Structure 1
């Protein structure tokens, strides 16, 4: 599908047309980071050849510590389990990284799959962002340390979450995105929700403009 015709899972909410610079007028600011590249990677982290070759292609050391992630330029690698990672990248780098990984890992027990149509991310920040997350999840987000990624509940669904600057990044499956966004809107109602202008920094971690 041509990129010009692609639509994010939250396209119908018209978030881009509502976006504004973050200010003190709202307690919660959020927006989707749409149409990134998502690669599912599986392999044996104890195999030095696997870790070395992945790191060489990604330009970042493969995170092998539980619940950790690593970033470099426009690539973010999230540890999901001892033999699984999600690689998030700018869409312009997706083909290059898929090809590079598949070529580098030939002959090494591994799996590389393009899951770009299956995920999206939402950035959440503001003085009441933590309150919203505590309404939505059983996880104690106040205890979430920088550099850690966790999988947890969000209402009746689930997300992978990590801190992003002074806010949080929520990675979710496309099929749950509509439900999670609506839940987030409801939970934010007491604090006031603003749609944050997203600042393009060229990578999976584009930031919220302040």
Structure 2
């Protein structure tokens, strides 16, 4: 029997991403194999409250909010939809927790870990780099830590999540089939920062 083997969408391009980084200014890397689970549930239902208790953080109820626990990020995707992001290998446990808290109420819990990979863009130049291909105002007053938005970056549909303000750090959730394209675009857009060091 063949041995199972998994490879992230950008595994073969890790060195290229690292090579596009500029020490002290910009860092590009892949955050591979995170657990990603989508949740659909009525936010005003008893199930939503039970889920919040089980997770240790209530589900965000405002557009673009992100809630954090010690091991999870919970990103608001819509009025009744969230993306939960956790450490590698915890998708099954997360699904079980959510399904048990959901009980018999109407809702959905789906493991989407293989759907997207994450490209991390961090450093002082990160907002400037992302602004080249994204129409969002990424100033920390408008898009600071624990904020997210579904948007276009270089014409690719992404979920952009701000993790830190100082220095700026973003996670870009991109479909696996667009990961190479977006990584290449980011590398090309970052080329000018090598010339200004």
- Which of the five TM-score ranges fits, normalised by the shorter chain? 0.7 to 0.9
1:23 is matched with which residue?
Answer: 23
Distance change in 2, residues 1:73/1:16 (3 Å): farther
1:190 is matched with which residue?
Answer: 192
1:53 is matched with which residue?
Answer: 50
Residue 107 of structure 2, aligned match among 106, 110, 125: 110
Query: Deviations for 1:141-164, whole angstroms, at most 9, x for unmatched residues?
Result: 123122221111111112111222
1:198 is matched with which residue?
Answer: none
Tell me the SS of whatever aligns to 1:141.
coil
Deviation at 1:138, TM superposition (A): 1.4
Deviation at 1:185, TM superposition (A): 0.5
2:151 is matched with which residue?
Answer: 152
Distance change in 2, residues 1:151/1:93 (3 Å): same
Residue 40 of structure 2, aligned match among 25, 39, 42: 42
Distance change in 2, residues 1:184/1:3 (3 Å): farther
1:171 is matched with which residue?
Answer: 173
Deviation at 1:175, TM superposition (A): 1.8
1:94 is matched with which residue?
Answer: 91
Matched, 1:66 2:63: yes
Deviation at 1:127, TM superposition (A): 2.3
Query: Residues 64 and 77 of structure 2 are in contact (CA less than 8 Å); yes or no, is this contact kept in structure 1?
Result: yes
Query: Deviations for 1:67-104, whole angstroms, at most 9, x for unmatched residues?
Result: 10101111111000001111101123221111121122
Gaps of 5+ in 1: 194-210
Query: Aligned partners of 1:10, 1:139: CA distance in 2, in Å?
Result: 25
Tell me the SS of whatever aligns to 2:7.
coil
Query: Residues 38 and 86 of structure 1 are in contact (CA less than 8 Å); yes or no, is this contact kept in structure 2?
Result: yes
RMSD across aligned C-alpha pairs, in angstroms?
2.5
Query: Aligned partners of 1:105, 1:42: CA distance in 2, in Å?
Result: 10
Query: Deviations for 1:2-42, whole angstroms, at most 9, x for unmatched residues?
Result: 997211111121349958x9833xx3211111001110110
